C-alpha cells in the first residue's frame, strides 16, 4: 500500500524538492504552505497521512504550534511527525520533542536518509 506523506514548508523550493524526492520513492505527497494551512489540509484529508514532515519557522502558525495542535487531537496522536528544518539548536529540538515530534532532520536533507527515516517511523 502506498504511504501518504503530508509536507509543510513555507519555501516553495523546499516543497518541490520534497515532492520530487518522495514521489520518486513511491509516496503520495500532500503539501501545505505553513502550519495553519497544514491544519486545514489535514482536516480536509479523507485518510490520515502516514507521516507528517514539517518545518519550524513559518508564518501564521509555526511548526511547534502545528505539532501541538495535531497532538491535541486524540485520534492524531500516533501519526509520526518529522521536523525538517535549518535549526539545529538543542533547546528547539527538546521543545519539538515535548510538543510531540517523532524525529528531527536538519536541512539540507539527504534524500536517502529522509526516505529511510520515513519508512522507519511509519513501520
Calculate the average pLDDT of the chain. 95
Predicted local confidence at residue 100, as pLDDT: 95
DSSP 77: T
Is the distance from CB of 66 to CB of 41 less than 8 angstroms? no
- Sign of the C-alpha dihedral, residues 53, 47, 17, 23? positive
CA 71 distance to own-chain centroid: 13
Q: How far apart are CA 57 and CA 85, in angstroms?
A: 8
pLDDT tens sequence across 47-105: 999 999 999 999 999 999 999 999 999 999 999 999 999 988 899 999 999 999 999 99
In the predicted structure, residue 1 carries a pLDDT above the cut 80: no
- pLDDT at residue 87, rounded to an integer: 84
Paired sense of beta strands 28-32 and 51-54, if any: unpaired
DSSP 12-32: HHHHHHHHHHHHHTT-EEEEE
pLDDT over 90 (residue 123):
no
Return the pLDDT at 49: 97
What is the average per-residue pLDDT within 106-110? 91
Amino acid at each position: 500500500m502506498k504511504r501518504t506523506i503530508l509536507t509543510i514548508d513555507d519555501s516553495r523550493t523546499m516543497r518541490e524538492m520534497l515532492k520530487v524526492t518522495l514521489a520518486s520513492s513511491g509516496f503520495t505527497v500532500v503539501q501545505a504552505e505553513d502550519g495553519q494551512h497544514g491544519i486545514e489540509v489535514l482536516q480536509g484529508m479523507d485518510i490520515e497521512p502516514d507521516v507528517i514532515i514539517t518545518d519550524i519557522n513559518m508564518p501564521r502558525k509555526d511548526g511547534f504550534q502545528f505539532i501541538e495542535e495535531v497532538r491535541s487531537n486524540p485520534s492524531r496522536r500516533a501519526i509520526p511527525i518529522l521536523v525538517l528544518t535549518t535549526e539545529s539548536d538543542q533547546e528547539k529540538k527538546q521543545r519539538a520533542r515535548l510538543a510531540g515530534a517523532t524525529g528531527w532532520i536538519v536541512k539540507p536533507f539527504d534524500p536517502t536518509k529522509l526516505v529511510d527515516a520515513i519508512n522507519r517511523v511509519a513501520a
